[in-house]
Amino acid sequence: MDIKDIIKPENKVYGKSPVLTDNIMHYCPGCSHGTVHKLIAEVIDEMGIQDKTIGISPVGCSVFAYNYLDIDWQQAAHGRAPALATATKRLCPDKYVFTYQGDGDLASIGTAEIIHACNRGENIVVIFINNAIYGMTGGQMAPTTLLGQVTATTPYGRRADLNGFPLKITELIAQLEGTCYVTRQSVQNAASARKTKKAIRKAFENSAMNKGTSFVEVVCTCNSNWKLSPVKANQWMVENMFPFYPLGDMKDR
């Protein structure tokens, strides 16, 4: 008997969103990017906005998001996604425009762009992946790297006197008048993934109502550069990142 005769579509617990392509993801096993892609795809599909959504992909591990989400995409230079999203939304005000950025992209080279786009209150969605490290380029210290955290450029751990303090960029974003919704979530288990999906949907709905910028941070793992197994990486994130980057809504206007 063919396997297709055994596993029938109506008996599947989970079916892949049609917004997700059939391309095999290149992310490392245990990486959080794939889970966040899945949630974005489900929100776009459930809202019926696949043909109305434009994503802005930056530089970093998430640069290949256009391979996995079947929507229109624009490619931005490193850190410039909010500037490109601003132009795209203003030229196409009827579209849903979102950026998908990592911490090295958004909180380092792109700090000026994200701060000013949020301060202007551009009607875009920002999805911010914070794994406290540069993933694609070899595991260097990022602005979000924790004190004491070992990276390729802080082999003895990050020091405040030498490297400065970790940047809580989301807390800064929440203070800006142009933001309407600022939240920090995670995807390390089913319950947290459901909360993140709810937050992403709310962000897209805010965009439709022209309420300003919605900013969704997702605290994630990078088990390859953390040198941990996926299970231990999740545990390390819960024990070390969550106390410094507490989950929950910071602003909901």
**Looking at residue 124, which CATH number applies to its domain?**
3.40.50.970
Place of tokens 């602003």: 251
pLDDT at 163: 96
Q: By the 8 A CB rule, do 85 and 124 touch? A: yes
pLDDT at 49: 98
pLDDT at 6: 58
Kindly state whether residue 76 falls inside one of the protein's structural domains: yes
pLDDT at 60: 84
Kindly state whether residue 193 falls inside one of the protein's structural domains: yes
pLDDT at 5: 59
Q: By the 8 A CB rule, do 241 and 219 touch? A: yes
pLDDT at 139: 77
Q: Which domain holds residue 57?
A: 28-252
pLDDT at 137: 79
**Exposure class string for 50-72: b at 16+ Cβ within 10 A, else e:** bebbbbbbbbbbbbebbebbbbb
Kindly state whether residue 108 falls inside one of the protein's structural domains: yes
* Single pTM value for the model: 0.93
Kindly state whether residue 52 falls inside one of the protein's structural domains: yes
pLDDT at 76: 94
pLDDT at 112: 96
Kindly state whether residue 140 falls inside one of the protein's structural domains: yes
Kindly state whether residue 4 falls inside one of the protein's structural domains: no
Kindly state whether residue 119 falls inside one of the protein's structural domains: yes
What total of structural domains would you count in the chain?
Answer: 1
Q: How many CB atoms lie within 10 A of CB 225?
A: 23
Kindly state whether residue 17 falls inside one of the protein's structural domains: no
Q: How far out from the chain centre does Cα 99 lie?
A: 8
pLDDT along the chain (253 residues), means of 10: 58 77 90 95 97 93 90 94 98 98 93 97 98 85 95 95 97 98 97 98 97 97 92 96 98 95
